[in-house]
């Protein structure tokens, strides 16, 4: 199964739709589904080798056009969330071990454990943010017409220095 087909099937399944797919024998795949019994079956045809880097975006847009036409909510079906494992709380992870009565080796071991706990929290947070971004992609706000894009301070400083050097010569 090719990447584009897998992506399209996953997109439909995320909206609670069970698609059917078949090979057309000409290097193309067809995906068919019926959002509701009263709606007509929908079909899209995918090339087995996509030649465009926008293929995934185009397939998603085509699927979502059909889903909107069938009045299907575009919010993906949420999987039931698992209960989090008993992980250390942020406050506990940020507390430093008491220094009194501990040898240097014991303090290093305690700090190493604290770093491991913080690393685990960072990994969990990274995974949670990645899942949020996949669930609801963020689009940049449209730029106002006629307004030039903002430059960063470094680019502005570089341009100012170049202008000053040109004036000297």
**pTM for the structure as a whole:** 0.45
pLDDT per residue as tens, the chain (169 positions) = 688 888 899 889 888 889 999 998 888 899 999 988 888 899 999 888 777 778 888 899 999 999 888 888 776 656 666 666 555 666 665 666 566 666 778 778 777 887 888 888 888 888 888 887 777 766 767 766 776 666 677 777 778 888 888 877 6
Decide: residue 130, CB within 10 A, 0-12 exposed, 13-18 middle, 19+ buried: exposed
Q: Where are the alpha helices (DSSP H) in 15-139?
A: 55-69, 90-94, 104-135
Q: Where are the domains of the chain?
A: 3-69, 90-135
Element (H, E) at 46: strand 42-47
């Amino acid at each position: 199964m090719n990447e584009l087909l897998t992506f399209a099937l996953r997109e439909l399944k995320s909206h609670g739709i069970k698609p059917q797919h078949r090979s057309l024998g000409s290097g193309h795949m067809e995906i068919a589904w019926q959002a509701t019994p009263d709606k007509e079956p929908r079909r899209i045809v995918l090339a087995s080798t996509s030649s465009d880097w926008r293929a995934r975006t185009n397939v998603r847009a085509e699927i979502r056009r059909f889903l909107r036409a069938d009045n299907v909510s575009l919010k993906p079906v949420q999987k039931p969330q698992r209960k989090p494992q008993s992980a250390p709380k942020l406050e506990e992870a940020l507390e430093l071990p008491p220094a009194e009565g501990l040898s240097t080796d014991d303090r290093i071991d305690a700090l190493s454990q604290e770093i491991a706990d913080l690393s685990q929290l960072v990994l969990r947070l990274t995974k949670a943010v990645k899942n949020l971004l996949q669930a609801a992609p963020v689009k940049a706000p449209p730029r106002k017409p006629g307004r030039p894009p903002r430059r960063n301070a470094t680019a502005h400083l570089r341009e100012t220095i170049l202008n000053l050097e040109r004036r000297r010569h």
